[in-house]
Amino acid sequence: MKTDPQVVNRMENKLRSIFKPDDGEDIVEWLVKNIKQIPFSPMPAGFRAQDTPWLCEPLRACVDPTIRMVQIIAPIQSGKSLMAEMLSCYILARQPAPTLYLNDTDANAHDWMKTRLRILWENCPPVMAKLGKNEEKSKSDTVQTSDMTFWCLGAFNEKNLQRRSIRWLIADETWLYPKGHLAECNARVTSFGWLGKRVFMSQGGFQGDETEEEWNTTTRAVWSFACTECGHKQPWTWSQIRIPDENMIINGDYNFENIRQNTTYECEGCKHQYPDNGESRVNLNATGFYAIQNPNAQSGGNYGYTWNALCARSWGVCAEKFVRAKIIMDMAGDSNPMRIWKQKQMAQFWSETPDSVDMLQTIGDYKTGEEWEGESLINPLNRKLTNDKTIKNGIHTRFMTVDVQRTGFYCLVRGWAEGSKSRLRNWKYVQTWDDVEAFAKFNTVIPPMVFVDCGDQFDDVIRQCGQRKWTALRGDGRSEFAWRVTTSSGTKIINKTYAPARLVNAGTGVVRVHHFSNLALKDQLSRLRKSGRHTCPSDVGKEYHAQMESESRVMNTGGKPEWRRIGKRDNHLWDCEVMQMVAAAAFGLLGIVKDEVSEVQTAPAEAGSVLESG
């Protein structure tokens, strides 16, 4: 049989390209030489290893054949995603093989391919030489070259994690992935045996999640430095940040300008304090190295690398963010800003520590049922919060929450003001639904501001809520819930402690049902009680105080926090107070008003989201 010489030549060239020995050029040197421009960088230029020296060792680990998995836990905007993007250039040009690059969702993966990966490839000539004419202008999330296939897909879509045998798996922001999907990712590289490589990247997630489970199997190497004054070797740690003592000004407000300008970093050895400037960080990072915390993982080929924001950005700015987060946690009881700071700046896995059992309520200088001049109002014309008592038909920010029992109902009414301040107005145990409605009218609570627990006797509760125009609530084990919010720059996802309304038609009318985080809101309620912002009247009685001390916060056998009932104590009023937190959050009352602490920003009021129910 006669063979076509052209076919033979193409086959020979293909085999030669596959089995061509690597010239051994260091990946960092190759990237410095071939990444001509990083257009989406704040300061566009080619790759400069000295600007982000903490990326060099992880990059080399990614192409080390003895290492099976590389995991990065790092703060936002510090180069971890750029590292993966540059690695994709090296794979396409130097080590072609089937590659799966994961973001969280398909939509984000499509955007990443369009606005990050393809733009970087266009500034790397060896990559462009590999892409065919059709691929150079393609907008597809799948790239096919003569050597390999490259997919950029979303990890939320489980179909993307199946039916593919890949050598290179690159997964970004794994802390966002649904439970079980990271394990599914791991299975994709098994067909390539020892050649299979996994590269996982993430900011700090939550203690006990799959990202932390993977992290604990790695070497957990920490980016460190040697003091240029005494040579003492140490990791970058928040405990060595020194915020100026004179950070308060005369009227009690924090002097954030002083914090930004005069925060320093202290060597844990000689106590030398470095000024907060680029020169200090450059000089200290020039001595940088990774200190391995778990050497036993080396034999398994799982290498982990972590750094935090202190090596990359202003310590004063980091300190300001910390102080703002602490103010909000102390004064409004909201730990979310502190959680975000630790996860995104310090690259730490978040877990709230159990609160003290000493949570005695602050007793106010007022009586049950007494009117409160400080109670906020809602302007019925624009549904915004106001303290203007002269507005016509102003609606008091006064909510009634109802805990449903088999033989009756616990009803609790609380008035709220901006800045997370509130007063218990009244509570009562009643026996019928008509009694519940009568108690709301007696305390001047309008129907949309009545919230009823539907965790028990769901059908009956929904029917009554539909008939009486009330809102239903249900406690949930989740810590937060995703909301789609429209902004000037498009739709984005934010997290709240309660879920968007689920509309249920009970035959008597459409009912809004909100799930809420038991853990997060009980934590916040506990902090508000300690801060003195969540008060009760002086004549409230022993029964209320006893039920408010009916649960304690503990760590369960799985190492996660939970609120647990103490013995057989009644906790119905405690549950009513927790539901009050949902209402206050929905109406924008949980936060700090600007005149309390200078420049502390608060979330906008969201009164309309609940008022639309009636």
Whether the per-residue pLDDT at 613 is higher than 80: the answer is no
**In which residue are the tokens 């007022």 written?**
366
CA distance 521 to 71: 33
CB 70 within 8 A of CB 62: yes
CB 90 within 8 A of CB 63: yes
Whether the per-residue pLDDT at 42 is higher than 90: the answer is no
CA distance 394 to 387: 10
Q: How confident is the model at residue 599 (pLDDT cuts 50, 70, 90)?
A: very low
**Between residues 8 and 355, which one has the greater pLDDT?**
8
Task: Give me the pLDDT at residue 607, please.
Answer: 43
Q: How confident is the model at residue 196 (pLDDT cuts 50, 70, 90)?
A: confident
CA distance 493 to 156: 15
CA distance 306 to 221: 6
Candidate ranges 142-151, 168-177, 305-314; pick with highest mean pLDDT? 305-314
Give the lowest-confidence range in 251-265, 427-441, 592-606: 592-606
The residue ranges of DSSP E strands in 374-489, in sequence order, are: 377-378, 385-386, 395-396, 398-404, 409-417, 421-430, 450-453, 471-476, 481-487
For 514-539, write each residue's pLDDT tens digit: 999 999 999 999 889 888 889 999 99
Find the helix or strand (DSSP H, E) in which 223 lies: strand 221-226
CA distance 512 to 614: 10
Give the lowest-confidence range in 194-208, 409-423, 528-542: 194-208
SS3 state of residue 471: strand
SS3 state of residue 422: strand
Whether the per-residue pLDDT at 488 is higher than 70: the answer is yes
Give the lowest-confidence range in 86-90, 219-223, 233-237, 598-602: 598-602
Q: Exposure pattern of 33-46 as b/e (b: 16+ CB <10 Å)?
A: ebbeebeeeeeeee
Beta-carbon-side half-sphere exposure of residue 336 (alpha carbons within 13 Å): 18
Whether the per-residue pLDDT at 197 is higher than 80: the answer is yes
Print the SS3 string covering 98-148. Answer: CEEEEECCHHHHHHHHHHHHHHHHHCCHHHHHHCCHHHHCCCCCEEECCCC
Give the lowest-confidence range in 20-34, 395-409, 513-527, 542-556: 20-34
Give the lowest-confidence range in 113-117, 247-251, 398-402: 247-251
Task: Give me the pLDDT at residue 514, please.
Answer: 96
Q: What is the residue-averaged pLDDT of the chain?
A: 86
Whether the per-residue pLDDT at 354 is higher than 60: the answer is no
Find the helix or strand (DSSP H, E) in which 590 lies: none
Continuous H helices in 427-517: 433-442, 458-468
Task: Give me the pLDDT at residue 20, please.
Answer: 53
CB 167 within 8 A of CB 98: yes
| Tokens standing for residue 224 | 């460190």
Beta-carbon-side half-sphere exposure of residue 126 (alpha carbons within 13 Å): 18
Whether the per-residue pLDDT at 439 is higher than 90: the answer is yes
Task: Give me the pLDDT at residue 614, please.
Answer: 32
Task: Give me the pLDDT at residue 393, please.
Answer: 87
Q: How confident is the model at residue 609 (pLDDT cuts 50, 70, 90)?
A: very low
Q: How confident is the model at residue 11 (pLDDT cuts 50, 70, 90)?
A: low
CA distance 393 to 396: 9
Find the mean pLDDT for residues 450-460: 94
CA distance 190 to 184: 11
Which is it for the CA torsion 32, 34, 36, 39, positive or negative? negative
For 70-104, write each residue's pLDDT tens digit: 999 999 989 999 999 999 999 999 999 889 999 88
Whether the per-residue pLDDT at 190 is higher than 70: the answer is no
CA distance 334 to 379: 26
Give the lowest-confidence range in 13-22, 183-192, 233-242, 362-371: 13-22
Task: Give me the pLDDT at residue 561, please.
Answer: 83
Print the SS3 string covering 135-187. Answer: HHCCCCCEEECCCCEEEEEECCCHHHHCCCCCCEEEECCHHHCCCCHHHHHHH
Q: How confident is the model at residue 598 (pLDDT cuts 50, 70, 90)?
A: very low
pTM score of the predicted model: 0.72
Task: Give me the pLDDT at residue 19, please.
Answer: 47
CA distance 90 to 108: 23
Task: Give me the pLDDT at residue 557, please.
Answer: 76
Task: Give me the pLDDT at residue 436, please.
Answer: 97
CA distance 197 to 190: 9
Task: Give me the pLDDT at residue 426, please.
Answer: 96
Task: Give me the pLDDT at residue 142, please.
Answer: 86
Note the Cα 304 to chain centre separation in Å.
21
